[in-house]
Amino acid sequence: MATFAYEARERDGKKQKGMIEAATQNAAIIELKKRGLIVLRVKEEKKTVLQMEIQIGKPVKPQEFVVFLRQFATLIRAGVGLVEAVHTLAAQTEKKQFRKVLEEIEADIRNGIQLSEAASRHPKVFEPLFISMVRAGEASGSMEIIFDRLAFFYEKSYYTKEKVKSAMAYPLVMLVLAIGVTVYLLTNVVPTFVGMFQSLNAELPAITKLVLSVSNSITYTWYIYIISGMILWVIFHIFATTEYGHKFLDYAKLKMPVFGRLFQKSSLARMSRTLSTLFASSVPILQALSIVEEVVDNKVIGDTLANARDSLRQGQPLSEPLKGSWVFPPLVTRMISIGEETGALETMLDKIADFYEAEVDNQVDKIKALIEPIMIVILAVLIGTIVLAIMIPMFDMYSHIK
């Protein structure tokens, strides 16, 4: 998303200036016209490095957002008006960015704009799922129920994501530790034995030559490794931002040994929970699938849902196109099919989400139990190789002296 400064005129001739976030300049113009404004000028704002640093990170953390939703539902249920509820929550919000967003929403509501429309102007905070559900709540007059459902959804979603992160963090920490210890030994311990080995005037074992070569390379040309790493990171980042690269990496994630099943289960849990939440709020199925395509954290699953949406338009049930995809296990497609036949699709999707959220917990425990001994073995092999490379020539020297 880019930020655009705009000048526009309201229907009564009054001039208006402000900022708007949009993917492109044309998208910004379209959004302004939707607001009933006559667009005079739209120009992209170029952020300075300082501004970019200040705006790093989301305006609100997931757990804080859940609390906000719970409090909003409580205020609405207590009979507090929409404007007053937003004003109250803005006043007690400590994070400046989020407070500013709520203050702008409050101002929009006071000007006669609906909450869903006001929230849609802040896509970094409120995703399409939120907008669609609030819009459904506005139509049905059940805003407190909608906000309770949203809080439940984001709470479950946040918990599942944190479990996946914890599974990834442990091996990453162990890997960094292994690399750190190895580099320390190669750059600080091994070089102290070089002079002794040279004084032997004897043929060194292959393993010792290899370790000495790696030690010299890291000690004297360390900058090459850093530059190479940076170049590879830039190439990877550029590749990941392309359509093909994004899909390829998401496919690779699902096919990864050990972690692939974890990514698949977490994505299926999020997809099922999102669809169930949207259906419970009376969001039409085609619109719900369109939202899930954006919300689900895997391009492969998103594309499969896009194909399912096209099949639905042609009169097929949702379960049929999903059966042809390797991403969706038979359990999922069968339960969706039963839900369609019995008219209890929302309930079935809830059960699928519950099942896979529990599966994520189990998978994380299995990964941690499996990774720990593997990483210990890897660390032992690395350190053992270095120790062996040092000790073999020393034993040879001792035997010659003896």
Q: What is the pLDDT of residues 28-78, one digit of tens each?
A: 787 778 777 788 888 876 544 334 333 434 667 888 888 999 999 899 888
Spatial distance between the Cα atoms of 136 and 151, rounded to a whole number of angstroms: 16
pTM of the model as a whole: 0.71
Asked whether residue 113 falls in the same domain as residue 210, the answer is no
pLDDT at res. 6: 80
Consecutive H or E run containing 174: helix 143-184
Structural domain span for residue 133: 62-155
The model's pLDDT over 263-321, given as tens digits with 9 standing for 90+, comes to: 999 999 999 999 998 888 888 888 888 888 877 878 899 899 989 999 999 888 989 88
Interhelix angle for 330-342 vs 345-401, to 10°? 170
Average pLDDT for the chain: 85
319 and 215 in one domain?
yes
pLDDT digits (tens, 9 = 90+) for 201-250: 767 888 888 989 999 999 888 899 999 999 999 999 999 888 899 899 99
Residues 102 and 222 in one domain: no
Same domain? 297 vs 252: yes
- 23 plus 8 within the same structural domain: yes
Number of domains in the chain: 3
Give the residue from 92, 127, 155 where a domain finishes.
155
Q: Alpha carbon of 97 to those of 60, 90, 118, 150: distances in Å?
A: 8, 10, 16, 21
Distance, in Å, from the CA atom of 53 to the CA atom of 36, rounded to the nearest integer, reads 34
DSSP 126: S
Distances (CA, A) of 361 to 85, 150, 264, 365, 372: 36, 22, 13, 6, 17
Task: Mark whether 43 and 67 lie in a shared domain.
Answer: no
Cβ(275)–Cβ(291) below 8 Å: no
Sign of the torsion formed by the C-alpha atoms of 55, 164, 161 and 263: positive
254 with 401, same domain: the answer is yes
Rounded Cα gap, residues 216 and 307, in angstroms: 55
- CATH code of the domain in which 367 resides: 1.20.81.30
E strand or H helix at 120:
helix 115-120
Which residue is listed with tokens 């005079």? 40
Distance (Å, rounded) from C-alpha 321 to C-alpha 306? 10
The answer on 94 and 126 residing in a single domain is yes
Q: Which of 155, 178, 197 is the last residue of a domain?
A: 155
Band of pLDDT at residue 394, cut at 50, 70 and 90: confident
Tokens linked to 351? 């059960």
33 and 182 housed in the same domain: no
Which residue, 155, 179, 202, sits at the end of a domain? Answer: 155
Q: Tell me, what CATH number does 33's domain have?
A: 3.10.20
The pLDDT tens digits of the residues spanning 332-390 come to 999 999 999 998 999 999 999 999 999 999 988 888 888 888 888 888 999 999 989 88
Does 26 share its domain with 168?
Answer: no
Higher pLDDT, 182 or 295: 182
Q: Are residues 245 and 270 in the same domain?
A: yes
Specify whether 288 is located in the same domain as 231.
yes
